[in-house]
Amino acid sequence: MADSASVPMLKHKDLLEIATLSREEIQLILHTADSLKDVARHPIKKLPTLRGRTMVNLFYETSTRTRTSFELAAVRLSADVVNIDVGISSVKKGESLLDTARTLEAMSVDFIVMRHAASGAPHTLARNLHASVINAGDGQHEHPTQALLDCYTVREKLGGIAGKTITLFGDLLHSRVARSNLLAFTKLGAKVRFCGPPTLCPREFEQLGAEVHHDVKTALAGSDVIYVLRLQFERHRLGLLPSVRAYTQQYGISTDRVKLAKPGALVMHPGPMNRGVEISHEVADAPQSVIVDQVANGVPIRMAVLYLLESGRTARAASPPVPAPMGAAA
Ligand code: ASP
């Protein structure tokens, strides 16, 4: 929801999922990232937009790329950043998620970036706090900023998303990236295919709008993008795969398999990669691979999200909702 009158903004207080973003809001984030991407090339990599604002990174699951990328994005917009190490915080003493978040808010935090193993955890915080909550991955549900940076990368490399065929391979069942990307790519007009063994890629995904394939050859034919997902061993129950080796033989993305897609098809992966399992070393480092570009694009995308949420916060503060007259129906 851009404010057509003047300053671009997201009117939601929080960024929790792609599901509730409109196509126009996604496009607004991508356009805003275009103008922020240049900042990384300036000798002084800073804009004053978030001066005086504080962002907290609250990660209950491990992260390298996402946490660092949010931190860099905030720092480049001049915010102060605090990283909470959950391993040595009061969470270890059994403090509830909400108590931890309320403690942070009591110290006047403006943005909380959160990753949690439970789907919906950031939504709970968002409902209970004034701070803007950004979902950096909740369980198997969504990872919205990953999808946004992936859309940005496809648009940058292929000139657009509408009409493209984007095929995601691997552990679709446990992947929050798969869900967010399916929603974002389809909202922007792409055709999305999911491919993996039936235990990791059930037919139910068809109800969400994905074409489901269990055969790599047919899935790759005509693909503009080969998007490889990590096997999320930490979320696996026993019996999902006969063996890791069998998975690699049947579904691993090798140089020969890349040739089955459209010539010049992009190869993507959200990281961290299990090299030699879901993707070969050669494919990961091939010229068609844009995995490093995905990481680089994470910073301007997260800057755009912070910038647009901040514009919305400023607009709300300038014109708070008018209280209903006494006696009016609730
Ligand atoms: N980094 C992504 C996530 O947090 C993908 C992965 O872990 O496989 O969901």
Closest Cα partner for 105 from 76, 126, 87, 80? 126
> So what's the pLDDT on residue 115?
95
Measured in whole angstroms, the distance separating CA 95 from the mean position of its chain's CA atoms is 27
- Token representation of residue 117: 């193993």
Q: Ligand 1 mean position to 57 CA, how many Å? A: 16
- 46-83: pLDDT as tens digits: 999 999 999 999 999 989 899 999 999 999 999 999 99
Query: Ligand 1 in contact with 144 (CB < 6 A)?
Result: no
Euclidean distance between CA atoms 98 and 96, whole angstroms: 5
Q: What is the largest CA-CA distance in the chain?
A: 72
Residue bearing the bigger pLDDT, 309 or 41: 309
Q: Ligand 1 mean position to 271 CA, how many Å? A: 6
Closest Cα partner for 77 from 104, 107, 110? 110
* Mutational test site, ligand 1, from 62, 64, 177, max ligand atoms within 8 Å of CB: 177
Query: Ligand 1 in contact with 270 (CB < 6 A)?
Result: yes
Q: Among 102-111, 127-136, 155-164, name the one with the lowest average pLDDT.
A: 102-111
- 19-32: pLDDT as tens digits: 999 999 999 999 99
Q: Ligand 1 mean position to 189 CA, how many Å? A: 24
H, E, C per residue of the chain: CCCCCCCCCCCCCCECCCCCCCHHHHHHHHHHHHHHHHHHHCCCCCCCCCCCCEEEEEECCCCCHHHHHHHHHHHHCCCEEEEEEHHHCHHHHCCCHHHHHHHHHHCCCCEEEEEECCCCHHHHHHHHCCCEEEEEEECCCECHHHHHHHHHHHHHHHCCCCCCEEEEECCCCCCHHHHHHHHHHHHCCCEEEEECCCCCCCHHHHHHCCEEECCHHHHHCCCCEEEECCCCHHHCCCCCCCCHHHHHHHHCECHHHHCCCCCCCEEECCCCCCECCCECHHHHCCCCECHHHHHHHHHHHHHHHHHHHHHHHHHHHHCCCCCCCCCCCC
Span 212-241, mean pLDDT? 91
Q: Which atom of ligand 1 is nearest to the CA of 270?
A: 5
1 pLDDT higher than 50: no
Euclidean distance between CA atoms 27 and 51, whole angstroms: 26
> So what's the pLDDT on residue 2?
46
- 137-156: pLDDT as tens digits: 999 999 999 999 999 999 99
Q: Is the pTM of this model over 0.85?
A: yes
Cα–Cα distances in angstroms (integers) from residue 176 to residues 181, 235, 246, 259, 275, in the given order: 8, 12, 24, 28, 20
237 pLDDT higher than 50: yes
> So what's the pLDDT on residue 93?
74
Q: What is the dihedral of CA 138, 85, 12, 137, to 10 degrees?
A: -20
> So what's the pLDDT on residue 6?
76
Asked whether 247 and 198 are in contact (CB, 8 A), the reply is: no
> So what's the pLDDT on residue 327?
63
Query: Ligand 1 in contact with 136 (CB < 6 A)?
Result: no
Query: Ligand 1 in contact with 141 (CB < 6 A)?
Result: no
328 pLDDT higher than 90: no
Q: Ligand 1 mean position to 272 CA, how many Å? A: 7
98-132 burial: b if 16+ Cβ within 10 Å, else e: eebbeebbeeebbbbbbbbeeeebbbbbbeebebb
In the chain the domains, ranked by start, together with CATH numbers, are 4-143+295-318 (3.40.50.1370), 145-293 (3.40.50.1370)
